[in-house]
Amino acid sequence: MAYRKKRKTCLTIVAEHNGFVMNKVFKDTVNVIVLGKSGKMASCVASGLSQAGWHVQSVAANAFEPFELISAICDPGPRKPVVVDFTQPQMISKMMPVLLEYHVDLISGVSGGGNAYLEALAIVAEKNSVVYGSNFSQGFIQLFRFIRSVPDKDQHIWDTAILDIHHAAKADAPSGTAIKLAERLGLEPNNPNSVASLRLGSGVSEHEVLFSNGSETIRITHRINDRKSFIPVIE
């Protein structure tokens, strides 16, 4: 995992860096605690990191009780505990006292929390290292890097829009990824003419950024076919 210890800037946003949250040299000294035993994303993360050789424990997120997390934190002995959370925004209020008391670092891929969630992460980051990403895939990091390269002075030339497609069970719309792209492009995420969200089928996710100046159109599509695509960046 791309594990970073940053005490001056403890809240790291994955899309604004090159990814890779932990580092393989820490494998023997880190205990990875994944929240959400039954969730698709959490199960995929736990399985992928375990197969990659990390020491992984899963903690149930449903009917969350602090003692479950405390037990997992205290269990590994000399191993440094790191919590990985891909569950729901409301989990942070339940986790925060535990993370702060036991000085546990956090990797979060939670979507749909908005500014309130980021503010909560910032509180945790005052004492612990926190890495947050609305999308941990390598493809998204490349897409965001390209979007970031578009000069602000050129953006008024193009009409710009984002198409945000996820599986029917996804709770939030627009997605955290779509919001991140919209903010970079100066778009209003909640304006359906700027960001159109569709929730259908069982595919993982797809984001398309469209630029048009009337005489030509550019379409950039990033599609995730398998949740395993998140593992290399987390690792």
For a pLDDT cut of 90, what percent of the chain falls above it?
A: 15
* Lowest mean per-residue pLDDT among 46-55, 146-155, 182-191: 146-155
Same domain, 152 and 54: no
Question: Which residue in 135, 78, 81 sits closest to 108, CA to CA?
Answer: 135
Query: Cα separation of 150 and 155, whole Å?
Result: 7
Residue 179 lies inside a defined structural domain of this protein: yes
Q: CATH number of the domain that 77 lies in?
A: 3.40.50.720
Please give the residue range of the domain that contains residue 208. 138-230
Tokens of 191: 């304006």
What pLDDT shows up at residue 6? 41
* Lowest mean per-residue pLDDT among 37-51, 79-93, 164-178, 214-228: 37-51
Query: Cα separation of 227 and 221, whole Å?
Result: 17
**156-198, pLDDT tens digit by residue?**
778 899 999 998 888 888 988 898 889 888 899 999 999 999 9
Helix (H, G, I), strand (E, B) or coil at 95: helix
For residue 62, pLDDT beyond 90:
no
Residue 5 lies inside a defined structural domain of this protein: no
Average pLDDT rounded to a whole number, residues 121-138: 87
* Lowest mean per-residue pLDDT among 6-20, 111-125, 126-140, 174-188: 6-20
In the block, tokens 């987390």 appear at 234
Confidence of residue 202 (pLDDT cuts 50, 70, 90): confident
Size (the chain), residues: 235
DSSP class of 106: E
Q: Which residue has the higher pLDDT, 101 or 70?
A: 101
E-assigned strand segments in the chain: 11-13, 30-35, 55-59, 80-85, 105-108, 130-132, 159-166, 195-199, 205-212, 217-224
For residue 151, pLDDT beyond 50:
yes
Same domain, 68 and 178: no
Average pLDDT rounded to a whole number, residues 35-63: 79
Residue 53 lies inside a defined structural domain of this protein: yes
Number of domains in the chain: 2
Tokens of 58: 């899963």
Q: Which of 80, 115, 133 is the last residue of a domain?
A: 133
